[in-house]
């Protein structure tokens, strides 16, 4: 892509990554790395590198490790090991051009950097996103009476979001029940009864009444709520995570908290519809962008932006585990959005000042607005 003014603006823009995870501090062997660059598993005969994201890593990440473009997987992993995780992380996080990270700290089967560590490596600021399922499960692990569950969970959630740097909460209801839920706030007796069943049974929070209760507790907390929708690992039932299933709940909670639909693919149009008709709804296509890679990121953004008000799309990487994804997500976003906007400018369908404004909004300002972050974050540096 030749560099027009939109490309230049987006290349220089310091991004706000409104949803990501930490990066592993460990050195990774081949299996470890391959397992982190797929939403599937590590399968005999099918390398994770033989996929769109694997091709994108070899194309766009290899040069940052001083390798030629399209280096082989073997060369890539050897060089990665040679440099060591610490240096690798430093290089990719620097290349991401991201000033602010809102870090979901609730999923870490691997040992990951804390928000503070991530910010230090990247030379930016980090905020925290509290995963509410974790709070509920910690309450259960500590022990609670069923009829006290609602109060204890709410108090624990309030404590969690009062910690410095917390800007949002998140729910993975998508993974637990999907969105085909009764939208109404459950009554106290319903919650007690459901808590009784769940606490007796143990395991992760996947009771439909308690998931509903968790979503309504998010409303009470008053912070923006991030919701996983669409694409994820095999734990997802794709047909139950279409965000349009949330419509009744969005009506009931209208006028309360901002709701941020994450990932969305392949339901980016449904998410765009919700962001268009509900004042409180926003969307991103994080995770999707690095999995499809720069070759296809623009097509996804085209669909996500078909009808969407320009204030309603945010940037996120949803990077997890490998530092490559902070850079790849940012690159795919910049490349895709710039291509889309520059072509519209070139076709005289959009003015250049509008294109530049939209770039800054989507890459930075929309997130600052929703989360109340200082707009000085993400400014172009002299």
**Alpha carbon distance 217, 135 (integer Å):** 11
Shortest Cβ 9–a copy of itself spacing (Å): 17
**Alpha carbon distance 107, 84 (integer Å):** 24
Question: Of the ranges 136-144, 188-196, 219-227, 244-252, which one interacts with a copy of itself (CB under 8 A)?
Answer: 244-252
Decide if residue 265 touches a copy of itself (CB under 8 A): yes
Near a copy of itself by CB under 8 A: residue from 2, 109, 111, 234: 234
Cβ proximity to a copy of itself: between 101 and 265 the closer is 265
Contact 171, 228 (CB under 8 A): yes
How many residues of this chain interact with a copy of itself, rule: CB under 8 A?
68
Which residues partner with 259 through β-bridges?
Answer: 225, 281
Decide if residue 305 touches a copy of itself (CB under 8 A): yes
Measured from the Cβ of residue 264, the count of other Cβ atoms closer than 10 Å reads: 30
Q: Which two tokens stand for residue 344?
A: 């519209």
Q: Give whole-number Cα distances, 169 to 36, 59, 259, in Å.
A: 24, 35, 10
Cα 367 versus chain centre, distance: 12
**Alpha carbon distance 100, 373 (integer Å):** 9
Decide if residue 324 touches a copy of itself (CB under 8 A): no
DSSP 223: S
Q: Angle CA(325)–CA(275)–CA(352) in degrees, nearest 5? A: 70
Decide if residue 51 touches a copy of itself (CB under 8 A): yes
Near a copy of itself by CB under 8 A: residue from 50, 87, 145, 151: 50
Decide if residue 278 touches a copy of itself (CB under 8 A): yes
**Alpha carbon distance 278, 255 (integer Å):** 9
Cβ proximity to a copy of itself: between 54 and 186 the closer is 54
CB-neighbour burial class of residue 334 (10 A; exposed 0-12, middle 13-18, buried 19+): buried
**Alpha carbon distance 11, 343 (integer Å):** 16
Decide if residue 86 touches a copy of itself (CB under 8 A): no
Shortest Cβ 333–a copy of itself spacing (Å): 16
Decide if residue 309 touches a copy of itself (CB under 8 A): yes
Decide if residue 245 touches a copy of itself (CB under 8 A): yes
Shortest Cβ 104–a copy of itself spacing (Å): 20
Near a copy of itself by CB under 8 A: residue from 3, 12, 70, 379: 70
Which residues partner with 15 through β-bridges?
Answer: 98
Near a copy of itself by CB under 8 A: residue from 8, 87, 182, 233: 233
**Alpha carbon distance 21, 8 (integer Å):** 28
Question: Of the ranges 126-134, 152-160, 166-174, 236-244, which one interacts with a copy of itself (CB under 8 A)?
Answer: 236-244
Shortest Cβ 79–a copy of itself spacing (Å): 17
Strand order across the 281-283 sheet: 15-20, 98-104, 125-131, 166-171, 225-229, 259-263, 281-283
Cβ proximity to a copy of itself: between 23 and 289 the closer is 289
Q: Residue 103 in 3-state DSSP?
A: strand
Strands, E assignment, 178-292: 225-229, 259-263, 281-283
With residue 10 as reference, give the H or E element that holds it. Answer: helix 5-12
Cβ proximity to a copy of itself: between 53 and 323 the closer is 53
Decide if residue 46 touches a copy of itself (CB under 8 A): yes
Q: Which two tokens stand for residue 42?
A: 């590590």
Q: Footprint of a copy of itself on residues 192-231 (CB under 8 A)?
A: 231
Decide if residue 286 touches a copy of itself (CB under 8 A): no
| Residue window 348-377: x/- pattern of binding to a copy of itself, with contact defined by CB under 8 A | xxxx--x--------------x--------
Decide if residue 114 touches a copy of itself (CB under 8 A): no
Shortest Cβ 86–a copy of itself spacing (Å): 29
Q: List interacting residues with a copy of itself (CB under 8 A).
A: 1, 38-41, 43, 45-46, 48, 50-53, 55-56, 59, 69-70, 231, 233-234, 236-239, 242, 244-245, 247-248, 250-251, 265-266, 269-270, 273-274, 276-279, 288, 291-296, 299-300, 302, 305-312, 344, 347-351, 354, 369
């Amino acid at each position: 892509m030749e560099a027009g003014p939109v490309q230049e603006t987006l290349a220089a823009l310091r991004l706000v990554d409104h949803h990501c995870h930490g990066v592993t501090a460990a050195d990774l062997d081949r299996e470890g790395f391959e397992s982190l660059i797929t939403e599937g598993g590590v399968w005999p005969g099918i390398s994770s590198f033989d996929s769109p994201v694997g091709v994108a890593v070899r194309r766009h990440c290899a040069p940052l490790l001083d390798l030629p473009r399209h280096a082989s997987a073997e060369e890539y992993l050897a060089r990665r090991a040679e440099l060591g995780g610490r240096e690798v992380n430093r290089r990719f996080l620097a290349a991401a051009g991201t000033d602010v990270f809102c870090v979901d700290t609730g999923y870490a089967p691997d040992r990951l950097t804390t928000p503070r560590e991530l910010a230090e490596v990247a030379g930016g600021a980090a905020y925290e996103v509290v995963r509410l399922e974790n709070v509920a499960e910690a309450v259960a692990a500590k022990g609670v009476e069923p009829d006290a569950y609602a109060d204890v969970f709410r108090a624990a959630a309030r404590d969690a979001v009062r910690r410095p740097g917390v800007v949002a909460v998140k729910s993975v209801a998508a993974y637990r029940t999907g969105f085909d839920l009764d939208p109404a706030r459950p009554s106290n007796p319903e919650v007690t009864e459901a808590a009784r069943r769940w606490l007796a049974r143990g395991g992760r929070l996947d009771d439909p009444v308690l998931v509903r209760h968790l979503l309504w507790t998010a409303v009470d907390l008053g912070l923006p709520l991030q919701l996983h929708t669409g694409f994820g690992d095999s734990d997802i039932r794709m047909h139950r995570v279409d965000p349009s299933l949330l419509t009744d709940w969005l009506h009931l909670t209208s006028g309360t908290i901002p709701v941020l639909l994450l990932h969305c693919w392949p339901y980016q149009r449904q998410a765009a519809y919700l962001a268009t008709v509900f004042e409180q709804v926003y969307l991103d296509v994080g995770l999707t962008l690095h999995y499809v890679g720069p070759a296809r990121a623009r097509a996804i953004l085209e669909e996500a932006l078909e009808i969407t008000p320009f204030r309603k799309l945010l940037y996120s990487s949803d990077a997890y585990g490998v530092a490559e994804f902070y850079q790849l997500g940012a690159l795919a976003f910049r490349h895709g959005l710039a291509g889309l906007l520059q072509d519209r400018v070139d076709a005289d369908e959009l003015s250049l000042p509008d294109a530049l404004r939209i770039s800054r909004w989507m890459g930075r300002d929309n997130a600052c607005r929703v989360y109340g972050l200082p707009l000085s974050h993400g400014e172009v540096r002299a």
